[in-house]
C-alpha cells in the first residue's frame, strides 16, 4: 500500500458497493456526511482515486478522504467499512 492510499481490502468493499449500486452514507475526514448511490471508481486529473456518488448530481470523493462507509441498501453483502 502506498502512502496516502486505502488498503486493498477497503478498496474491494468500495468496488463491491459500485458493482451492486449500493446506496451509501459516507463520513469524510472533514466530518461531512454524504448519501447517495455508488456508481464507479475513477481517477481525478490529479491522479487520485475517487468514488463517484449519485445524489441528484454526480460527486467525486477521494477514497483517501473516507472515514466510514455505511451501506443503506437492505440485504447488502456488508454493512459498514471503517477506513484507517
Could you tell me what percent of the chain has a pLDDT over 70?
A: 96
Domains of the chain: 8-72 (2.30.30.100)
Q: What's the predicted TM-score (pTM) here? A: 0.92
Q: Please report the pLDDT score of residue 3 as a whole number.
A: 52
- 58 SS3 class: strand
- Kindly give, in sequence order, each residue whose CB lies less than 8 Å from that of residue 82, ignoring residues fewer than 6 positions away: 67, 68
DSSP state of 27: E
Higher pLDDT, 42 or 1: 42
Supply the mean pLDDT for the chain.
Answer: 94
Amino acid at each position: 500500500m502506498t502512502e496516502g492510499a486505502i488498503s486493498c481490502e477497503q478498496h474491494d468493499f468500495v468496488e463491491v458497493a459500485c458493482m451492486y449500486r449500493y446506496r451509501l452514507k459516507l463520513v469524510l475526514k472533514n466530518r461531512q456526511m454524504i448519501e447517495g448511490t455508488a456508481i464507479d471508481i475513477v481517477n481525478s486529473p490529479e491522479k487520485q482515486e475517487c468514488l463517484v456518488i449519485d445524489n441528484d448530481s454526480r460527486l467525486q470523493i477521494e477514497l483517501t478522504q473516507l472515514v466510514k462507509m455505511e451501506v443503506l441498501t437492505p440485504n447488502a453483502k456488508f454493512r459498514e467499512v471503517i477506513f484507517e
